[in-house]
Amino acid sequence: MGERLKGKIAFVMGAGCIGEGWGNGKATAVLFAREGATVICVDRDLASAGRTAAIIAEEGGKAAALRADITSAADIDSAVSDVIARHGRIDILQNNVGIAEPGGPEAIDEASWDRVMDVNLKGFFLTCKRVLPEMVRQGGGAIVNVSSVASITTIAVPMISYYSSKAAVNHFTRAVAVEYAPKGIRCNAVLPGLMNTPMIVEPYRHVYASVDDMIAKRDAMVPMGKMGTAWDVAHASLFLASDEAKYVSGVLLPVDGALTCQTR
> What is the CATH number assigned to the segment(s) 9-200+230-249?
3.40.50.720
Classify 104 as helix, strand or coil: coil
Q: Which amino acid is at 27?
A: A
Verdict on whether the full-model pTM lies above 0.75: yes
| Count of Cβ atoms closer than 10 Å to residue 155 Cβ | 17
Q: What is the pLDDT of residue 211?
A: 76
Tens of pLDDT, residue by residue over 85-99, are: 999 999 999 999 999
Domain ranges of the chain: 9-200+230-249
Q: Which of the residues in the chain have pLDDT under 70? A: 156, 200-207, 209, 263-264
Cα 53 to Cα 31, 63, 127, distances in angstroms = 12, 5, 20
Q: Which amino acid is at 230?
A: A
Active-site positions read: 162
Instruction: Name the DSSP class of 240.
Output: H
Tens of pLDDT, residue by residue over 11-40, are: 999 999 877 789 999 999 999 999 999 999
Percent of the chain's residues with pLDDT above 90: 81
Asked if 139 contacts 184 with a C-beta cutoff of 8 angstroms, the reply is yes
CA distance 49 to 12: 10
